[in-house]
Amino acid sequence: MTATPRFPIFLHGGDYNPDQWLDRPDILERDVELMRQAHVNTVSVGIFSWARLEPEDGVYDFDWLDQVIDRLWQGGVHVALATPSGARPAWMAQKYPEVLRVDEHFRRRHFGERHNHCPSSPVYRRKVHEMNTRLAQRYAKHPAVILWHISNEYGGDCRCELCQNKWREWLQKKYGDLETLNRRWWTSFWSLRYTDWSQIEPPSPMGESSSTSMQVDWRRFSTDQCKDFLIAERDAVKAVCPELPCTTNLMERFWDYDYFSLAEAIDVVSWDAYPAWHSGDDLATAADFAMNHEIMRSLKDQPFLLLESTPSQVNWKPVNKLKRPGMHLLASLQAVAHGSQSVMYFQWRKGRGGSEMFHGAVVDHDGRGDTRVFRDVTQVGEALERLQPIYDLPRAKAEVCVIYDWSNWWAVDFAQTGHNRNMRYFDTVNMHYRSLWEQGVSVDFRDMRACTDLSGYKLVIAPMLFMFRDDFGAKLRAYVENGGTLLTTYHSGIVDGDDLAYLNGVPHDLTDVLGMRQAELDAIYPADEQSLVMLDGRTFRVTELCAVPEHLGAETLASYGHDFYAGVPCLTRNAFGKGTAYYLAAKVEQAGLDAIYREIADRLGLTRALDDKLPSGVVATERGGVVFLQNYSGKPQPVTLTDAYTDLLTGEQAVGTFEMPVNGVMALQKA
Ligand code: GLA
Ligand code: ZN
């Protein structure tokens, strides 16, 4: 499968803002030359160009963009063409204030900044439709244009009157009648009962903000609002040219919207990755970003695009460190190893002003093509050309599925329990994922939608799956009954899809499957001592959360080491139907999870990217039969390979024992 059928090549390039340099035609000339030198083949254009494209209401100016796209194309550079809805011109905000968003305090935004439009505004929708249609009519058939970059990093929500009405319509459609809503939102609590739809407002610190069922619904509604807006943008360009694929750039750890749902509206998933390398533990950072990449691949189970990353440093973190030598290639190829068909940057060239004038770029203010960063970028361009043979080959087929679900994330975060509002869902899932990633085991992420099919997996992991929506407990139960292996944890199966607590024992639907029941949930302080003690005495630290379980007959693999529940089972295994179900009662340190998953992987015979044992910090990831060996340890590492390989990046042989440099990366193909 290829994300960009008009140009089925690894994309290398980035956000390009020639509209900031319209009085400097020499810069465009120079850029095209530098792009060729840097092996850049694609740039994203027009992302924030509305003020240049429509300088006055209804007055359009595409001449400058014609010239830019034609010039790029002459230079062999392709274009991901953006729709400019991420920011709008001052005249529009002034003339039609309704295009601006209303915040959670019910205050209308003023002009400025970006990503702050109202998704319901009929005026904004009309203007966007008009703009997108014109862009499509003018450029969709241009040979340079290979992809629609719809808007930019959609996020947030709006509480204007129009959006409030949409919210009430959405609720009416979902619940039918008020009595049902009152029941499912549990509104007898604190006299929250509604007697008329018009009484329902969006959650707000000015009004109701503690109703968790309402909060979770608001996030679902906001997802649908964004999706509806995205679909309108997409349909405008597709009406002109149905075959040109659409993407919108997603973000890491992004909480606002359910990306599984949003991804249904686009042809290709793309995202923006900004890891904080060298901030302490690069292996942990790499595990975090590996999971982000894996989620992006999993959203549509397709190759994705890395649409933004920095060639050197960002300028919006508290500390903006440069990538150390080697890290640019390593981080870029991590994306490729996980299924990306591109390595793209923010930004091609630094502007002279604006808040991003010091954000890393391929080309710095001095416009030179002989800098360290430029050489790093060129190296990635060359590497992508060498890797073209695996361009449309997928990631190794996953035998493991991790359940990762946005409704669950919101429900976990809104629930007042345990470590109140600090339950760290993403981090928790990441710890489970990391154990498998470090072992070179391929993993899919799936959510709880009805379409999720677990039957093909040897192992399903459901960490902290507090909410079971869409009858997911029954699905997990059937999966185990039919021979699957499940691992679930504390704080799982506690509420249904409406965020209402289950009444007949938790994890719901699974107490007999697990042979365990969560009786209580303990939250402990950082200084508290607690541990998971394996049968053979290996002991691992436990932090944050401990379910105090009732033992219903599962086989005990480990017990708690301290406190009033010392000796109570903490890790169990239970045979159920044709399958097996593990229950992990507490948040155990990474080394403990590693031990648990090593044993499970051995027991199930899970396929690893490489059978050879690798030093800690060196990770193997397989795509298209090529093993990407990545050294995140911050030190040179000795590696011993049993088989003989060729490193596609250098063409050299890799056999026996050799040393991988700091931040080293290799693309090994069996010789
Ligand atoms: C985001 C945006 C870009 C730019 C970069 C800076 O990803 O999409 O426009 O602001 O961040 O890192
Ligand atoms: Zn609105």
**Per-residue confidence band for 217, with pLDDT thresholds at 50, 70 and 90:** very high
Q: Answer whether 152 contacts ligand 1 (Cβ < 6 A).
A: yes
Atom of ligand 1 nearest to the CA of 251: 7
The ligand placed nearest to the CA atom of residue 124 is 2
Coil vs helix vs strand at 357: coil
pLDDT digits (tens, 9 = 90+) for 469-493: 999 999 999 999 999 999 999 999 9
Alpha helix segments (H runs only) across 266-405: 282-300, 327-337, 372-386
The mean of the pLDDT values for the chain is: 98
Question: How far from 222 is each of 159, 193, 258, CA to CA, in Å?
Answer: 10, 23, 9
* Cβ within 8 Å of residue 179, ≥6 positions away: none
Residues 372-391: what's their mean pLDDT? Answer: 98
Q: Quick check: 338 and 305 in contact, CB under 8 A?
A: no
Instruction: Indicate the top mutation candidate among 116, 153, 292, 344 to test ligand 1's pocket, ranked by most ligand atoms within 8 A of CB.
Output: 153
Atom of ligand 1 nearest to the CA of 272: 7
The DSSP secondary structure of 200-220, one letter per residue, reads -----TTS----HHHHHHHHH
Q: 78, exposed or middle or buried, with CB in 10 Å at 0-12, 13-18, 19+?
A: buried
pLDDT digits (tens, 9 = 90+) for 179-192: 999 999 999 999 99
Residues 320-346: what's their mean pLDDT? Answer: 98
> How many of the other CB atoms lie within 10 Å of CB of 108?
14
Q: Answer whether 272 contacts ligand 1 (Cβ < 6 A).
A: yes
* Cβ within 8 Å of residue 422, ≥6 positions away: none
CA 325 / ligand 1 centre spacing (Å)? 23
The ligand placed nearest to the CA atom of residue 221 is 2
Cα–Cα nearest to 345, from 327, 360, 326, 355? 360
For residue 519, the model assigns a pLDDT of 97
Residue nearest atom 4 in ligand 1 by C-alpha distance: 346
pLDDT digits (tens, 9 = 90+) for 581-631: 999 999 999 999 999 999 999 999 999 999 999 999 999 999 999 999 999
**Per-residue confidence band for 518, with pLDDT thresholds at 50, 70 and 90:** very high
Instruction: Indicate the top mutation candidate among 48, 323, 346 to test ligand 1's pocket, ranked by most ligand atoms within 8 A of CB.
Output: 346
Q: Answer whether 314 contacts ligand 1 (Cβ < 6 A).
A: yes
Cα–Cα nearest to 13, from 347, 387, 344, 350? 344
Q: Answer whether 308 contacts ligand 1 (Cβ < 6 A).
A: yes
**Per-residue confidence band for 658, with pLDDT thresholds at 50, 70 and 90:** very high
Residue nearest atom 5 in ligand 1 by C-alpha distance: 346
CA 347 / ligand 1 centre spacing (Å)? 8
CA 94 / ligand 2 centre spacing (Å)? 16
Coil vs helix vs strand at 242: coil
Residue nearest atom 3 in ligand 1 by C-alpha distance: 346
Q: Answer whether 153 contacts ligand 1 (Cβ < 6 A).
A: yes
For residue 396, the model assigns a pLDDT of 87
Residues 644-651: what's their mean pLDDT? Answer: 98
Cα–Cα nearest to 154, from 277, 291, 255? 255
* CA–CA separation, 185 and 182 (whole Å): 5
The DSSP secondary structure of 393-431, one letter per residue, reads PPBPPPSEEEE--HHHHHHHHHS-SSSTT---HHHHHHH
For residue 433, the model assigns a pLDDT of 98
The ligand placed nearest to the CA atom of residue 361 is 1
Which is it for strands 246-251 and 665-670: parallel, antiparallel or unpaired? unpaired
Cα–Cα nearest to 273, from 301, 294, 250? 250
pLDDT digits (tens, 9 = 90+) for 141-155: 999 999 999 999 999
Alpha helix segments (H runs only) across 302-367: 327-337
Residue nearest atom 11 in ligand 1 by C-alpha distance: 346
Residues 535-561: what's their mean pLDDT? Answer: 98
The ligand placed nearest to the CA atom of residue 100 is 2
Coil vs helix vs strand at 489: strand
Residues with catalytic roles:
153, 308
pLDDT digits (tens, 9 = 90+) for 234-270: 999 999 999 999 999 999 999 999 999 999 999 999 9
* Cβ within 8 Å of residue 426, ≥6 positions away: 253, 409
Cα–Cα nearest to 300, from 128, 460, 447? 447
> How many of the other CB atoms lie within 10 Å of CB of 166?
18
